[in-house]
């Protein structure tokens, strides 16, 4: 059986709202419009306007309200139409949500999920194409998840909603319509993926490729090409950007001796930079070659199709180190 | 024995989009007595904090509340601990008002393990969730949407309680106030926005930062009251009115006309942007503790000597709490890594030295 990522997210929201009356969804166009990307389709009809709340286009206000509701013990899911707009509310994500449990020595926990599409879509220009994985993942107190497949989307979103800490959940607009095969286990309402564990999507012995979100698909395609050339690539789907599964990454690199990191975000201080550091710290002696970082170009996202294509990794970019 | 009294507030309420409550406030001799005790304690506590800061026993930022005590005390008299309160960084007296102890307070100020945030919060981050106090927030204005979120959660949970969000006249110009108020009004949230107008946002006088400094009118569609924030009874009456209003009709703004005697924080002598005459004038004419002292004497509830004795008593309490806090230990080094998460999931965390200190978060 196959379901697409949109259905996976929708069913996860539905099941968790059904299981726990403290869970509610708020954001722009999540209700009557059925979600800007239809992730919340049908939820207003099922759970009513008390639990599916359309907000004004005022991120600082509604995000702060979500965090305050979490202080009180509710479990809000705050949808950003895209994570680009979360910049209007980043103070509440960082200062109000991530730090409260620590500052209060455990008195004020913040069980909240901030979710929505992140990173580049297609042809929407610089202000709508930014990947915030590295930003949020640099902040202690937050957990940052990024699903690739339908299995990831279902299992990680359910884990995020059940988790007692603030979780930033980075989706990808271009994956919403993509279908993936799913097992009966994945479709079971008790299905959950542990936070902080990466998934080895494909085993290999010559080179490790780490990726998250849409780039996992590219890494798998690149691995197929490499296989034809007699190179066995291991593809790690990070799933969790924070906590970062250093153990899985390092044990893979110790086996393969080579590392390529892939992400759509900017190179400087990026997720790849952190992974590279982790390998240098823990497995330096095992490296047979310098680490390669594949990232978005170090420029704001251009609009023109040809330039945009040059600004984000393509499957071929993952192969340049070999070619 | 407690006897009922009715006392007229000396200033009328200003009102916007609503009928102001009566100036006749019902109280009792016991309540007035407790106002005096509580405010005397708060006053003494803040003065002691000033000395501890100057003795370098308190670090970083420290914002004192002396002058504004009537707001904390009058508000508590109108509500219960099931109602929520959230405030900014000038939070010492709010914590005491919610039932926090002097020992936890001074311990926190001096970064001791026995502090209300185990020494991890500091002056600006006091909490007492069991009594509905949600902090203690350091970013100007951010507590306003958070407070409206508490109100949302109370309504969602069908608790018949309200959330009081305190902010200063400086924060009153923040955009997120208007964002949160708009949503609170759309959703009829039981949110009470309390603007503690002490007339200076740090060193900027209200007229230099606000085109309209009638803060109680700035909610437009939301009703507002202007309250003599130096009069605990006027504050009590307004908060009672606001709670009833908010439960029925949604958000309301209370502008408390108040004054801080200290500078904005300990690094501010508080005298470059206002005159010493202005400060001493307020002390002489409007001081919230002296107002209650006069009432207690005028109604023969207490004698001068009894009130002096109370002041001596609170002084002793404060000194004892400080001595006890000084003897308390600093947090254990291992506390550096606790409470980052509720459920750390074995996340690895590093200290400053990435080779030596690496722990699994609980």
Would you give the end-to-end CA distance of chain A in angstroms?
37
Only one residue has tokens 């070619």, namely: A323
The answer to whether the beta carbons of residues A273 and A293 sit under 8 Å apart is yes
- Looking at the predicted complex, does its ipTM rise above 0.85? yes
Task: List, as ranges, residues 213-272 from B with C-beta within 8 Å of A.
Answer: none
Separation in Å, CA of B266 to nearest CA in chain A: 21
Give yes or no: A28 in active site.
no
Supply the pLDDT for residue B222: 98
- Residues B19-75 have pLDDT tens digits of 999 999 999 999 999 999 999 999 999 999 999 999 999 999 999 999 999 999 999
Q: Write down the mean pLDDT value for chain B.
A: 96
DSSP run (H or E) holding A310: helix A305-311
Q: Which residues of A touch B111 (CB under 8 A)?
A: none
DSSP class per residue in B245-299: HHHHH--EEEEEE---SS-SSTT--S-SSS-HHHHHHHHHHH-HHHHHHHHHHHT
Q: With DSSP H G I counted as helix, E B as strand and the rest as coil, what are the percentages for chain A, rounded to 5?
A: 40, 15, 40
Share of chain B above pLDDT 90, in %: 94
Q: Which of B148, B186, B347 sits opposite A196 (nearest CB)?
A: B347
Asked whether the bond before B64 is cis by omega within 30 degrees of 0, the reply is no
Q: How many CB atoms lie within 10 A of CB A302?
A: 17
The answer to whether the beta carbons of residues A146 and A170 sit under 8 Å apart is yes
Minimum Cα–Cα distance from A282: chain B residue: B355
Minimum Cα–Cα distance from A106: chain B residue: B339
Supply the pLDDT for residue B360: 87
Only one residue has tokens 């393990």, namely: B113
Q: CB distance B179–A60 less than 8 Å? A: yes
A65 touching chain B per CB within 8 A: yes
B87 touching chain A per CB within 8 A: no
Q: Pull the structure tokens for residue A138.
A: 């640099």
Give which of A110, A277, A17, A26 is closest to B348, Cα–Cα. A277
Q: CB distance A56–B182 less than 8 Å? A: yes
The answer to whether the beta carbons of residues B47 and B66 sit under 8 Å apart is yes
Share of chain A above pLDDT 90, in %: 97
The number of angstroms, rounded, from the C-alpha of A183 to the middle of its chain's C-alpha atoms is: 22
The answer to whether the beta carbons of residues A152 and A176 sit under 8 Å apart is no
| Secondary structure (3-state) at A236 | strand
Minimum Cα–Cα distance from A50: chain B residue: B156
Only one residue has tokens 């299992």, namely: A155
Question: What's the pLDDT band for A41 if we cut at 50, 70, 90?
Answer: very high
Separation in Å, CA of A185 to nearest CA in chain B: 23
Mean pLDDT of B253-276: 95
Catalytic residue among A7, A16, A92, A128: A128
d(CA B107, CA B114): 6
**Number of helices (H), then strands (E), in chain A:** 12, 14
- ∠ at Cα B189 (B187, B193), nearest 5°? 125
| pLDDT at position A319 over 90 | no
DSSP class per residue in B63-95: ---TT-HHHHHHHHHHS-TTSEEEE-S--HHHH
| pLDDT at position B326 over 80 | yes
DSSP class per residue in A174-223: GGTT-EEE--HHHHSTT----TT--EEEE--SSEEEEE-THHHHHHHHHH
Supply the pLDDT for residue A322: 62
- Residues B66-81 have pLDDT tens digits of 999 999 999 999 999 9
Q: Which of B145, B154, B345 sits opposite A92 (nearest CB)?
A: B145
What b/e sequence results for A216-230 when a residue is b if at least 16 CB atoms lie within 10 Å of its CB, and e otherwise? bbbbbbbbeebeeee
Catalytic residue among A59, A201, A234, A292: A59
| pLDDT at position B356 over 80 | no
| Secondary structure (3-state) at A36 | coil
Separation in Å, CA of B37 to nearest CA in chain A: 28
A202 touching chain B per CB within 8 A: no
- Residues B289-318 have pLDDT tens digits of 999 999 999 999 999 999 999 999 999 999
Q: Distance of CA B270 to CAs B168, B203, B259, B281, Å?
A: 16, 8, 12, 15
| Secondary structure (3-state) at B45 | helix
Half-sphere exposure of residue B75: CA atoms within 13 angstroms, side-chain side: 34
Separation in Å, CA of A101 to nearest CA in chain B: 6
d(CA B252, CA B173): 17
Q: How many CB pairs under 8 A join A and B?
A: 163
Supply the pLDDT for residue A318: 81
Q: Which of A56, A68, A165 sits opposite B148 (nearest CB)?
A: A68
Supply the pLDDT for residue B321: 98
Mean pLDDT of A105-109: 98
Backbone angles phi, psi at A102, to 5 degrees: -70, -50
Give which of B54, B68, B61 is closest to B89, Cα–Cα. B61
Region class of B152: left (phi > 0), else alpha (psi between -120 and 50), else beta? alpha
A57 touching chain B per CB within 8 A: no
Supply the pLDDT for residue A321: 63
Supply the pLDDT for residue A236: 98
- Residues B178-211 have pLDDT tens digits of 999 999 999 999 999 999 999 999 999 999 999 9
d(CA B276, CA B273): 10
Strand residues in chain A grouped as ranges (E): 2-4, 23-27, 52-54, 75-79, 113-117, 143-145, 167-171, 179-181, 199-202, 207-211, 233-237, 240-242, 259-262, 292-294
Query: In the beta sheet, which residues pair with residue B225?
Result: B15, B254
d(CA B169, CA B102): 28
Interface test with chain A among B165, B341, B346, by most A beta carbons within 10 Å:
B341
Task: List, as ranges, residues 288-307 from A with C-beta within 8 Å of B.
Answer: none
Q: CB distance B187–A53 less than 8 Å? A: yes
Region class of A27: left (phi > 0), else alpha (psi between -120 and 50), else beta? left
A69 touching chain B per CB within 8 A: yes
DSSP class per residue in B190-220: -EEEEEEE-SEETTEEHHHH-S---GGGTTT
Supply the pLDDT for residue A314: 93
d(CA B256, CA B194): 7
What b/e sequence results for A42-68 when a residue is b if at least 16 CB atoms lie within 10 Å of its CB, and e otherwise? ebbeebeeebbbbbeebbbbbbbbbbb
Give yes or no: A59 in active site.
yes
The answer to whether the beta carbons of residues B134 and B142 sit under 8 Å apart is no
Q: Dihedral of CA B275/B89/A84/A45: which sign?
A: negative
DSSP run (H or E) holding A108: none
Q: Which of B134, B184, B348 sits opposite A71 (nearest CB)?
A: B134
Query: In the beta sheet, which residues pair with residue B257?
Result: B197, B228
Share of chain B above pLDDT 70, in %: 100
Q: CB distance B149–A67 less than 8 Å? A: yes
Supply the pLDDT for residue B294: 98
A195 touching chain B per CB within 8 A: yes
B347 touching chain A per CB within 8 A: yes
Q: Write down the mean pLDDT value for chain A.
A: 97
- Residue B237's contacts (CB-CB under 8 Å, 6 or more residues apart) are B9, B21, B22, B23, B25, B78
Task: List, as ranges, residues 108-137 from B with C-beta within 8 Å of A.
Answer: 117-118, 120-121, 125, 127-129, 134-137
Q: Which residues of A touch B121 (CB under 8 A)?
A: 103-105
Q: CB distance A106–B135 less than 8 Å? A: no
């Amino acid at each position: 059986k196959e379901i697409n990522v949109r259905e996976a997210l929708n069913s996860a929201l539905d099941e968790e709202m059904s299981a726990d009356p403290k869970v509610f969804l708020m954001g722009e166009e999540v209700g009557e419009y059925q979600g800007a990307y239809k992730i919340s389709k049908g939820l207003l009809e099922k759970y009513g306007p008390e639990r599916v709340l359309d907000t004004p286009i005022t991120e600082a206000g509604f995000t702060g309200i979500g965090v305050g509701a979490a202080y009180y013990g509710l479990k809000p899911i705050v949808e950003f139409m895209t994570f680009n707009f979360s910049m209007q509310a980043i103070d509440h994500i960082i200062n109000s949500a991530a730090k409260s449990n620590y500052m209060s020595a455990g008195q004020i926990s913040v069980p909240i999920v901030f979710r929505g599409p992140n990173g580049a879509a297609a042809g929407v220009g610089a202000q709508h194409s930014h990947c915030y994985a590295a930003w949020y993942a640099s902040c202690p107190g937050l957990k940052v998840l990024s699903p690739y497949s339908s299995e990831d989307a279902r299992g990680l979103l359910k884990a995020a909603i059940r988790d007692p800490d603030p979780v930033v959940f980075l989706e990808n607009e271009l994956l919403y319509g993509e279908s993936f095969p799913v097992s009966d286990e994945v479709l079971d309402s008790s299905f959950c993926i542990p936070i902080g564990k990466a998934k080895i999507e494909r085993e290999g012995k010559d080179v490790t490729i780490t990726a998250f979100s849409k780039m996992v698909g590219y890494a798998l395609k690149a691995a197929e090409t490499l296989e034809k050339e007699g190179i066995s690539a291991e593809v790690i789907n990070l799933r969790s950007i924070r906590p970062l599964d250093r153990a899985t990454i390092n044990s893979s690199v110790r086996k393969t001796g080579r590392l390529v990191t892939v992400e759509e975000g900017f190179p400087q201080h990026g997720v790849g930079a952190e992974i590279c550091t982790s390998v240098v710290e823990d497995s330096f002696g095992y490296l047979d070659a310098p680490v390669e970082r594949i990232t978005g170009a170090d420029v704001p996202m251009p609009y023109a199709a040809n330039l945009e294509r040059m600004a984000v990794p393509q499957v071929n970019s993952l192969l340049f180190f070999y070619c | 024995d407690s006897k009922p009294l009715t006392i007229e507030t000396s200033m009328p309420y200003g009102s916007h989009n609503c009928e102001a409550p009566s100036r006749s406030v019902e109280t009792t001799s016991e309540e007035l007595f407790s106002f005096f005790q509580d405010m005397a304690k708060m006053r003494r506590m803040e003065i002691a904090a000033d000395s501890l800061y100057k003795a370098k026993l308190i670090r970083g930022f420290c914002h004192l509340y002396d002058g504004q005590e009537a707001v904390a005390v009058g508000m508590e008299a109108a509500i219960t601990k099931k109602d929520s309160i959230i405030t900014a960084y000038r939070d010492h007296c709010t914590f005491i008002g919610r039932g926090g102890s002097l020992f936890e307070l001074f311990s926190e100020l001096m970064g001791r393990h026995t502090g209300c945030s185990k020494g991890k919060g500091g002056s600006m981050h006091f909490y007492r969730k069991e009594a509905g106090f949600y902090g203690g927030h350091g970013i100007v204005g951010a507590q306003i949407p958070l407070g409206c979120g508490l109100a949302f959660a109370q309504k969602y949970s069908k608790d018949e309680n309200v959330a009081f969000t305190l902010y200063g006249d400086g924060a009153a110009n923040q955009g997120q106030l208007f964002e949160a108020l708009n949503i609170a009004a759309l959703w009829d949230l039981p949110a009470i926005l309390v603007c503690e107008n002490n007339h200076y946002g740090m060193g900027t006088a209200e007229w230099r930062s606000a085109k309209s400094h009638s803060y109680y009118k700035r909610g437009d569609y939301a009703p507002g009251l202007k309250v003599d924030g130096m009069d605990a009874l006027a504050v009590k009456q307004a908060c009672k009115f606001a709670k009833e209003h908010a439960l029925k009709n949604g958000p309301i703004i209370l502008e408390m006309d108040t004054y801080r005697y200290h500078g904005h924080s300990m690094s501010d002598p508080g005298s470059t942007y206002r005159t010493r005459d202005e400060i001493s004038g307020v002390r002489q004419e409007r001081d919230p503790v002296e107002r209650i002292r006069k009432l207690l004497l005028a109604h023969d509830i207490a004698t001068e000597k009894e009130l002096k004795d109370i002041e001596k008593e609170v002084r002793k309490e404060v000194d004892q709490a400080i001595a006890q806090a000084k003897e308390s230990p600093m947090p254990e080094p291992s506390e550096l890594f606790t409470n980052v998460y509720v459920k750390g999931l074995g996340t690895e965390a590093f200290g400053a030295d990435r080779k030596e200190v690496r722990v699994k978060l609980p």
